[in-house]
């Protein structure tokens, strides 16, 4: 199919001239038959927002304290658009900005990077269910009790 499509796009191209002889020019891999294959994508389940927020924000580790952590994550899986190149690229921009800082650089004159604009762009931190429950409990325990 791929060859047919290419031939349609480039009708004057003699594709066969570029292929290895004796039918050895192509291999086919069925990933689902591969023993170490674990699936194509990682997607978030409901309730995993906080995990994703922390993964996405990992590149900021140490920056606020002035000791940037040199371990930097990147990849579509830690982005907000896992399974798409767009997510890989956005996380790479974050990682590259961090690496620039680690090597003494930072922003371009005309363009501020994600580190400088973090407070404006960062994903919202939700109250954890545990702390929300704790707050409710505290509110209940400080309410004046009814005298019977």
Residue ranges that bind ligand FAD, judged by CB under 6 A: 40, 75-76, 83-86, 88
Long-range Cβ contact pairs of 40-45 (< 8 A, separation 24 or more): 40/83, 41/76, 41/82, 41/83, 42/77, 42/82, 42/83, 43/82, 43/83, 44/82
Minimum CB distance to ligand FAD smaller for 43 or for 139: 43
Q: Which is nearer to ligand FAD, 81 or 133 (CB)?
A: 81
Residue with the two structure tokens 């292929």: 19
CB closer to ligand FAD, 9 vs 85: 85
Report, in Å, the least distance between residue 88 CB and ligand FAD: 3
Residue 85 CB, nearest distance to ligand FAD (Å)? 4
């Amino acid at each position: 199919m791929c060859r047919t499509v290419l031939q349609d796009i480039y009708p004057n191209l003699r594709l066969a001239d570029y292929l290895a002889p004796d039918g050895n020019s192509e291999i086919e891999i069925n990933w689902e038959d591969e023993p170490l294959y674990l699936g194509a994508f990682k997607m978030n389940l409901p309730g995993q927002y906080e995990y994703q927020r922390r993964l996405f924000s990992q590149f900021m580790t140490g920056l606020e304290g002035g000791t940037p952590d040199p371990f930097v994550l990147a990849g579509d899986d830690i982005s907000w658009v896992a399974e798409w190149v767009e997510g890989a690229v956005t996380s790479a921009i974050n990682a590259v900005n961090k690496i620039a800082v680690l090597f003494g650089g930072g922003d371009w004159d005309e363009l501020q990077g994600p580190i400088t604009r973090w407070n404006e762009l960062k994903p919202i931190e939700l109250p954890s269910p545990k702390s929300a429950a704790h707050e409710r409990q505290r509110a209940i325990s400080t309410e004046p009790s009814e005298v019977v």
